[in-house]
Chains A and B, each alone.
Chain A
Amino acid sequence: MSLAEPEISTQQEASAVAVETPLRRFLSDYFESPIATAALAVLFLLVCLAVLAPVISPQNPYDLAEVDVLDSRLPPGSEGMTGYTFWLGTDGAGRDLLSAMLYGLRISLAVGVMSGLIATVLGSLVGLTAAYVGGRVETLIMRIVDMQLSFPAILIALMLIAVLGKGVDKIVIALVTVQWAYYARTVRGTAIIERRKEYVEAARCLGLTHTRILLKHILPNCLPPLIVVATVQAAHAIALEATLSFLGVGLPQTEPSLGLLISNGFEYMLSGKYWISFFPGLLLLATILAINLVGDRLRDVLNPRLTR
């Protein structure tokens, strides 16, 4: 270190003391990367599109009164029977592809987020319990986690669907089962380090209950790695649901997610009608890519070992 540096840093600190909260530091770190900023913006846009799908989509693709079968398989940009222009073309049933995609995105995100939330809660609780209780319980839980993680997610999901059958609830169960182990492992890994710290000892001395110590003291300190895993897993869950739906063992035709739209376009692919599969796939790719890029950045920003 040179002699001039301490002076500068004290000056910086003086001006930073007022503004620099952990959240602000985190935000400014995050937005340093233009790609990550763009990815977050895209993700925000996609979520808005999904939430507002019934309001903004040009057509309700599942209202039979609005769909005309005579409009089926029109290429992008062509005009339909009612004089309406289908910018991304229509699918096999004459639905406006753009509208169907917005609705599909809504379903894909909903299934991904819902299974992600359930898995986060379940996995975190199991991981916390393992770390806090220790001993045989911990060994047993972690063995189960290790065993499950030695099998690929798609295989576990297929196993469950083979046993349980098809349906929305079954898909959510499969996605939760596939994901919980990652959360459990992550939370347990952080929690065994946190458990030995002084603030936990202090909380114990105060006579706080185990539940309180776990949820209010240890869990908040496990959040940074948990957030990173949750982001990456959200992308995995969405991709997995799309894959299962594409294979015809995922969501039913009444819940047309992006994967199902792509699957429906498959039969028209060989006759050169590419758009029915192409555009939903592109939207799926954009969603997964945006989440992955945000996750990558979060990992860099939240990892204390990488702090510059």
Chain B
Amino acid sequence: MTAFILRRLMQSVIVVVAMSVVVFLGVHVIGNPVYLLINPQADQQEIEATIRALGLDRPIWEQYLYFVRGALIGDLGKSFVFGEPALRVILQRMPATLELAFAALFMAIVIGIPLGLYAGLKPESPFSKIIMAGSILGFSLPTFWVGLMLIMVFAVMLGWLPSTGRGAAATFFGITSSLFTLDGLTHVLLPALNLALLKISLVIRLARAGTRETIHQDYIKFARAKGLSQRRIVGVHLLKNILIPIVTVLGIEFGNLVAFSVVTETIFAWPGMGRLLISSIQTLDRPVIVAYLIIIVLMFVVINLIVDILYSVLDPRVRIGERTQ
């Protein structure tokens, strides 16, 4: 187990290094780094002074090391727009994004698994067919358009829920989140549903496929023969086994949720880091863009690592498979 984690950890480090090279080269070779690091309003003298100060006249490998050193101590430059360190600007908005992603993940599980289980246990019932048709639709619906329609129906026409912003936040066990207040919950409901829609469809499919495969296994028959109740068979024996692929996929999808929150945050004016990225691209606030990219890459690598470790705990075959390779 330790060897497995160590090996995975090493792979993650390689990915981070590779991505840092890609981001660095992307910024310094394709784009002009002067524009990245210097305020566009600066005059020629200022530009030359900064080029020297930042070491942009040195060889590229030296510049890369400089970039890495800055990244390691959390210095990614100052935001042109906010005048604050780019990293701090991003980190301030991270809780809102994570909150939204968690709310969406929760919805995907709570709505997706029961519907998928039902569709898997009673594949012929009309309700199951509706569920499956809905999941195909869910895959095809453009997220941003659904967001607009949700605002249209629930905020404009019915006036039930607020359409923009994050609600009041409260602190609970040291965590400040808008999920702890009623106002916050009403604000998060529409964006989270919008973000969760694709994942709900995915979980439905996974749960249904898993159920249909597992229900014919010997241990389920044995559990039946032992006289266990249907509820116990489904709730314990079946659910435990279909959860393995769902946990993995949802783990990977969490990163996806964070990335896709770019869209949802823009529509619902949610003050997260995705919306910040879009406005930074539009205002060419490059230090913030680079900081966002670095943070999101790290986040992905960590998520993938956790998922792999979790997976190996849930399914020992993964570890054994790695060892025999």
Contacts and interface: CB of A to CB of B under 8 A. Distances in A.
Given A147-B18, A154-B262, A155-B259, A163 B145 contact: no
B156 A158 contact: no
Interface residues of B, number: 46
Contacts of A165: 31
A288 B136 CA distance: 11
A277 B148 contact: yes
Given A162-B281, A281-B142, A292-B140, A246 B263 contact: yes
A30 interface: no
Contact of A147 (B15, B144, B152, B278): B15
B149 interface: yes
A266 B260 contact: no
Interface stretch (A66-74, A98-106, A267-275): A267-275
B137 interface: yes
Nearest to B25: A163
Given A147-B15, A247-B278, A292-B136, A154 B260 contact: yes
Contact of B30 (A164, A277, A278): A164
Contacts of B262: 154, 158, 247
B26 A159 contact: yes
- Which secondary structure characterizes the binding site on chain B? helix
Contact of A162 (B140, B157, B293): B293
B256 interface: yes
Please classify the interface of chain A as helix (H, G, I), strand (E, B), loop, or mixed, using the class held by over half of its residues: helix
Contacts of A270: 151, 155-156, 163
A259 B293 CA distance: 25
Q: In the complex, which range does the number of interface residues on chain A fall in?
A: 35 or more
B141 A285 contact: yes
A239 B142 CA distance: 6
Given A152-B260, A281-B149, A285-B142, A248 B156 contact: no
Contacts of B297: 151
A24 B267 CA distance: 47
A246 B163 CA distance: 18
Nearest to A280: B145
Contact of B145 (A160, A285, A289): A285
A188 to B, nearest CB: 19
A163 B163 CA distance: 32
Contacts of A160: 26
Interface string A149-177: 01110110011111111000000000000
B139 interface: yes
A274 B152 contact: yes
Interface in B145-179: 145, 148-149, 151-152, 155-157, 163
Q: Top 3 A-B pairs ranked by shortest CB distance?
A: A281-B145, A289-B140, A155-B259
